[in-house]
Amino acid sequence: MTPTALSSLFQAPDRALPETMDALLTGAALLLPLLDLIANAAIFLKDHHARYLLANRTLVQRCGVKQQQALLGKTSAEVFPAQFGPGYTEQDLRVLKQGTTLEGQLELHLYGSREPGWCLTHKWPLYNRSGEIIGLAGISLDVQAASDTHPAYQRLAAVDDFIRSHFHTGVSLAQLTEIADMSAAQLERYCKRVFHLTPRQLIQKARLEQAHRLLQGPLPVTEVALQCGYTDHSAFSRQFKAATGFTPRDYRATIAGKLPYVR
């Protein structure tokens, strides 16, 4: 199930919209056995206070609990590790208060081994017939392994290798299209098919993975930013917080055990 397909389940003409979140939830709950089968995606519904109303099995397992009921009525800040949960809830509240839609937000997660893992998060506000926001629907898709059987894989692997070797010095779209011998539109389309990310997201991913590694060491945060290809420290902090929910400084403190890592 794609993000577009999921969002369409909760979009309808005004006359078909529910009056309350409870009415929508009754219908959505019928789909839960289907949503539970999607192992590479965390899928959820939340109320207007950003509290869980429905969660599929993948999300339940990643939160370290056995049953959906353990999540219901709680916010992400209450169930996720301390370095990520508050950022997720802050993100939820922007969707709920501003009616904004989040599309393909690249986010970093730490699994039990504390190794970084990546997902693309999508969130949509849910409305009643009066046009009021009554909750949100969301899905976080794991960034899957590259599709190495794709005919363009070898050319795109060369693009990925170049990004990983040069992200700290700056990478232009012109360089990537030349390496791949493709137009910009083709490169965008094939990168999504092979790596499930855009070229810009591949660059961002390489930079943030390096930042994750360097923040475990003694380098000043400003130097970490420079070594990851950011000449503007504030831009580094903004992008890092968008991906992790925390500033680089607070993230370092969490990794070092100076802030709690909880489930």
CATH value at residue 52: 3.30.450.20
Residues 132 and 16 in one domain: yes
Tally of domains within the chain = 2
Mean pLDDT of 188-203: 93
Residues across the chain: 263
**What is the pLDDT, as a whole number, of residue 139?**
94
C-alpha span between 205 and 118 (Å, rounded): 8
Mean pLDDT of 22-30: 86
Dump pLDDT digits (tens) for 90-115. 899 999 999 999 998 888 775 544 55
Q: Which domain holds residue 67?
A: 3-142
Q: What is the pTM of this model?
A: 0.76
Residues 6+ away with beta carbon under 8 Å from 114 = 255
| End residue of a domain, out of 142, 173, 189 | 142
- Among residues 34, 28, 33, 30, the alpha carbon closest in space to that of 52 is found at 28
State which of 6-15, 71-80, 140-149, 246-255 shows the largest mean pLDDT: 71-80
Residues 119 and 170 in one domain: no
**What is the pLDDT, as a whole number, of residue 260?**
39
Mean pLDDT of 36-55: 94
Question: Around Cβ 82, how many Cβ atoms within 10 Å?
Answer: 16
Question: Residue 11 domain-assigned?
Answer: yes
Question: Residue 216 domain-assigned?
Answer: yes
Q: Under the phi-then-psi rule, with left for phi > 0, alpha for psi from -120 to 50, and beta for the rest, what region is 236? A: alpha
| End residue of a domain, out of 142, 169, 201 | 142
pLDDT at 5 over 60: no
Residues 44 and 134 in one domain: yes
Tracing tokens 């390496």 back to the chain, one arrives at 179
C-alpha span between 188 and 192 (Å, rounded): 6
